[in-house]
Chain A
C-alpha cells in the first residue's frame, strides 16, 4: 500500500536538494517523517551536538502530496535514508542552453512514492522526469527507524535576535581559515553584538619564542550595531559559543532564502536554536553551545595542563517519538522535561567533536555562493605554477653573496630608468587563460608576441 506519494516541481527538487546538501554537512543519513500536513527531514550529527530539521508544508511546497495512514503508520510514517543517494537523485541537471526539446536535460518534475506494508519490500521510489522525455526511476532501500528530535525549551531561551541571513553570511567572509569557535556576545553600552572567532589549538604560554605562535589563526571580531538587528533581546555581556563549522554550514544554506534568521538561546552549555523559513519550508537548527566555565578556563589557562577531566560532552536532549506518536501533532517539541543539570562545569563539547572530513561541496549552482570572499579580479592567474608537489633537488644552485662588501647595485636602482613616462609600457593585458601551444596569428598579435 502506498503510504506516501508526492510530486515536486523543478524548483521544488532544487530546494530539496539544497536542504539535503545542508544536512549532509552534519550527517550521512537523514530521517524522513511524513504526516498528513507536512514532510519533515531531520538529522543529528555524530557527536549529538547539532540537530537539523527541515519541514515542508504539504499544501504549499509540493505540487501534489498525499499521505495515507495505514494500520501500521496511522499518524505518521518514518524512515532513514542515506543523504548521499538522495543528493544524486535530486541533483539539478543543467539545461544545455540548447532550446531544442531533445537536448533539454533539466528536470521537469519528480514523483516520490513510498510503498510499505506487511509483505512489501521497503523502498522509496523516485521517478524523475526530464524535459527531454527521459524518465529515471530510482529505488532506494530504507531503514524503518523513528527519528530522534532534539528538544528545545522555548520558554527557557530568553535571549534572541533576528537579522538578515545574507548580512550574517557575509560577516562570515571575514573569518579566516583554521578557526573553530564562534563567540556571540553583546555590549549594551556600545549597542553592538560581537561575533568573535577564535581557536584554542595553539594556546601554550611557554611557546613565546616558538614559531608556533605565528601559526595561530587570525583572531577576528566583528561588531554589528544592534540597530541592524530586529528584536534584539539579549542579556548584556553574555557569551554564547558555538562551532564555526556548523554555523557556516547553516548560513551557506540560509543566505539562499534571503530572509531573516532568528536565533534564540539561554545560557552557555544549553542549546541554541537558529531558524528561518520561506514559503512552505521551515528550517530549524538546534546547536549545543559550549559551557561558559569551560570557555573561560580554556581562554585563560592551558587546556592541556593537568589531568584532562573526562566528563561527558554535553549533548542535545533527544526524544524518540516511537512511543509518543499519538500525541505528536503540529507542535514540533513540547517544552521538555529536563534532566537535572550537571553540577560540575561541563567540559566543552569539542573533545567529543568528531570532525568528519569535510564533505564534497555541493555542485556550484548559480545560487550557491562560496563562503569566502571572491578573489578580486582574476587573481588566480598570478598564482604560481604548480605542476606537481615533489620536493625539488638542489643542483647547482648559485648562492647569494651575503658578505658585507659594498653593494654596487641596490641603492640607486631608481636611476636605471631615466625617462619613465615616455617608455611606460601599456598596462599588461589580461589573458583570460594561459596560452595554448598553438594559436591563431590574429589572436597572438594582441599579446605583442609578433610585430604586425
Chain B
C-alpha cells in the first residue's frame, strides 16, 4: 500500500436500482476506505434519491442500498455531502433523510470539488 495520500471525492448523480452507478460508487467508496485515504461523498441531482428511507428492493432482486449507506460510518466514511437544491427540486427535506449529512449549496459544491485531489463520477 502506498505511503502517499490523495483525497478522493465521489460525485453521485444517479438514482439507485435503475442502473448500477449507485452500487458501483459505493463499492469504490468502501475500497478507498480500505486504503485509508481521505474521502468525501457528494450526492447531487437524482442521487439524493439514494438517500430515501424505507427502501425494500427484495422484490426486484437487488441488495438494499440504504442499508449499506447507513453502514458507511462504521468504515469511517462520514463525509456525506448533499446538494440542497437537488433535495428541494424533489420535494424532499433534510429531515427526511436518516443519515448524518451535510447540506451544500452551489458554492459549497464548487468548494468541495476544489478541495479534493481526485474526483470520481458516478
A and B: bona fide binding partners: no
